[in-house]
């Protein structure tokens, strides 16, 4: 038997339950992984509340968990990339990562370096690939000035770092408690304000803005207009996070994830962890993630 997180109706964290289900063997091109860590994401919260029901219909009982890291314990007859005992991280196309074990296609896994912690590896896929997509789709390059709204969010934290690695200057919009972190990662920092006030402050600090990345659901169009940034160089992360299965990076997800892992292993990218919870404490984990908390990801440790 396997222990998995499921829900049978739309609602808050309290609808989540840990239940036992029959364990299944991998199909020929699949791999079974014992999960060591799995991130809690904003997209999963929105899906559980029914906010994405029209876009992505789901049948009940529904599982949760987009991302995970763990140890390979079984491989399908035609799976060749991994062996029992390999440490891996990746994503679950069936949203089954909040569990003590998960069966996934071998194509949705990459190797985990020993130097990357389980917590960080298990919380990398959604925020990492979303942040990568933001930076790539807006063409961030050397000398650009990038404004990141929600710079201390799960995705914003990584956008800041990836943009800096591209040679861009970064202005991060975040509450004052996060300004020291932004400064330590080479970014300027401003406090949230209405679009007009924010545009004036940013112009005073940077002179110009070339790219706007919004991770908060703010009025990015109004802000971009005030900053005279073309629409092609503005992006909001919420639709991207909800659309990783079909978005522009979808065919290259494993490649992008592997590159992010390399940056982690080289200590050039950091994923802050705000808290870790046992699988049985999944309700508390989601409740913590959905209210204001210190910067960093919330993860489950089955």
Helix crossing, 125-137 with 253-265: angle to 10°? 100
Could you report the per-residue pLDDT of 247-263, keeping only the tens digit for each? Answer: 556 778 999 999 999 99
Cβ density class 229-250: b for 16+ within 10 Å, e for less: beeebbbbbbebbbbbeebebe
Could you report the per-residue pLDDT of 146-172, keeping only the tens digit for each? Answer: 999 999 999 999 999 999 999 999 999
Could you report the per-residue pLDDT of 126-140, keeping only the tens digit for each? Answer: 999 999 999 999 999
Could you report the per-residue pLDDT of 47-72, keeping only the tens digit for each? Answer: 899 887 777 778 899 999 999 999 99
What's the whole-number mean pLDDT along residues 268-284? 97
Please identify which residue in the block is written with the tokens 């790219």.
211
Please identify which residue in the block is written with the tokens 């993630």.
289
Helix crossing, 220-227 with 195-206: angle to 10°? 40
Could you report the per-residue pLDDT of 287-297, keeping only the tens digit for each? Answer: 999 998 889 99
Q: Which of 301, 286, 295, 293 is nearest to 42 (CA)?
A: 286
């Amino acid at each position: 038997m396997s222990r998995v997180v499921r829900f049978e109706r739309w609602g808050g964290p309290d609808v989540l339950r840990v239940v036992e289900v029959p364990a299944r063997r991998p199909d020929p091109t699949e791999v079974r992984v014992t999960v060591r860590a799995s991130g809690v994401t904003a997209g999963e919260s929105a899906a559980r509340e029914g906010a994405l029901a029209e876009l992505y219909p789901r049948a009940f009982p529904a599982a949760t968990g987009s991302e995970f890291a763990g140890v390979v314990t079984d491989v399908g007859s035609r799976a060749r990339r991994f062996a029992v005992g390999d440490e891996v991280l990746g994503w679950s196309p069936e949203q089954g990562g909040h569990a003590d074990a998960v069966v996934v296609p071998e194509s949705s896994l990459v190797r985990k370096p020993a130097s990357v912690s389980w917590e960080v590896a298990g919380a990398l896929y959604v925020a990492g690939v979303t942040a990568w997509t933001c930076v790539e789709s807006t063409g961030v390059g050397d000398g650009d000035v990038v404004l990141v709204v929600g710079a201390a969010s799960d995705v914003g934290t990584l956008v800041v770092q990836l943009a800096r690695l591209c040679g861009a200057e970064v202005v991060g919009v975040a509450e004052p408690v996060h300004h020291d972190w932004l400064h330590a990662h080479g970014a300027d920092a401003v406090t949230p304000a209405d679009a007009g006030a924010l545009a004036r402050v940013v112009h005073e600090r940077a002179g110009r803005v070339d790219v706007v990345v919004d991770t908060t659901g703010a009025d990015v169009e109004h802000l971009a207009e005030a900053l005279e940034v073309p629409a092609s160089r503005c992006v909001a992360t919420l639709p991207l996070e909800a659309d990783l299965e079909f978005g522009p990076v979808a065919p290259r997800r494993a490649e992008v994830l592997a590159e992010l892992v390399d940056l982690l292993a080289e200590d050039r990218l950091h994923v802050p962890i705000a808290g870790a919870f046992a699988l049985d404490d999944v309700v508390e984990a989601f409740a913590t993630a959905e209210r204001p908390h210190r910067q960093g990801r919330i993860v489950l440790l089955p």
